[in-house]
């Protein structure tokens, strides 16, 4: 069992990641730093997720005797990266692409403790049923998915009604693979 011996800093404004850490029984504070989330062309989705998580973590390298947790979630459909939507039209476009398909969700996680960096990723495969433009508009109007990779949240209407199957970690699709995170914390 993981014994929390060091203060934990979650470097994420994601309410979902914060909720998951609370549900894990961890005590933590939230600290944010702006980080450029660009990445080199030609990287694979898993590498992108870890690369960005590590970029976020390196902004916190000066913290000692604390564990910093950063994460980045990537939605990939046939090797196309679906990030956070720029606007309503972009969200509609992404959700149309996801309708009736299978896609992958990668979350890269980095833990930093006393300048030691440990990174990993998790992969989940998500299957979506076919939805109409009216359902997509309903979703956007009622759930405002503009802060979510791929324009959807698995914990809301989209996940309850549209997602038909997940192979892999549900919490990974939410943005933080808690199972792997727990194991990593126990090792540090």
Task: Give me the catalytic one of 72, 133, 137, 141.
Answer: 72
User: Tokens for 170?
Assistant: 């549900």
Output the DSSP codes for 55-90.
Answer: HHHHTTTT--SSEEEEEEEEEEETTEEE-S-SSHHH
Beta-bridged to residue 124, according to DSSP, are 105
Q: Is 72 one of the annotated active-site residues of the chain?
A: yes
How many helices (H) and strands (E) the chain has is answered by 7, 7
Q: How many whole angstroms separate alpha carbon 144 and alpha carbon 176? A: 20
Phi, psi (deg, nearest 5) at residue 150: 80, 0
The catalytic site residues sit at: 72
């Amino acid at each position: 069992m993981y014994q929390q011996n060091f203060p934990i800093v979650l470097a994420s404004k994601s309410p979902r990641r914060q909720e998951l850490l609370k549900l894990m029984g961890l005590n933590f504070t939230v600290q944010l730093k702006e980080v450029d989330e660009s990445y080199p062309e030609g990287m694979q989705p898993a590498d992108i997720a870890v690369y960005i998580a590590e970029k976020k973590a390196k902004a916190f390298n000066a913290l000692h005797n604390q564990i910093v947790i950063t994460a980045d979630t990537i939605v990939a459909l046939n090797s196309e990266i679906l990030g956070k939507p720029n606007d309503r039209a972009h969200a509609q476009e992404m959700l149309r692409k996801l309708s009736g398909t299978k896609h992958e969700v990668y979350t890269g996680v980095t833990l930093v403790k006393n300048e030691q960096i440990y990174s990993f990723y998790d992969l989940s495969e998500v299957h979506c049923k076919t939805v109409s433009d009216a359902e997509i508009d309903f979703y956007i109007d009622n759930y405002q998915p503009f802060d979510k990779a791929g324009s959807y949240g698995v914990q809301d209407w989209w996940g309850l009604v549209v997602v038909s199957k997940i192979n892999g970690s549900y919490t990974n699709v939410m943005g933080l693979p808690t199972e792997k995170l727990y194991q990593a914390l126990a090792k540090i």
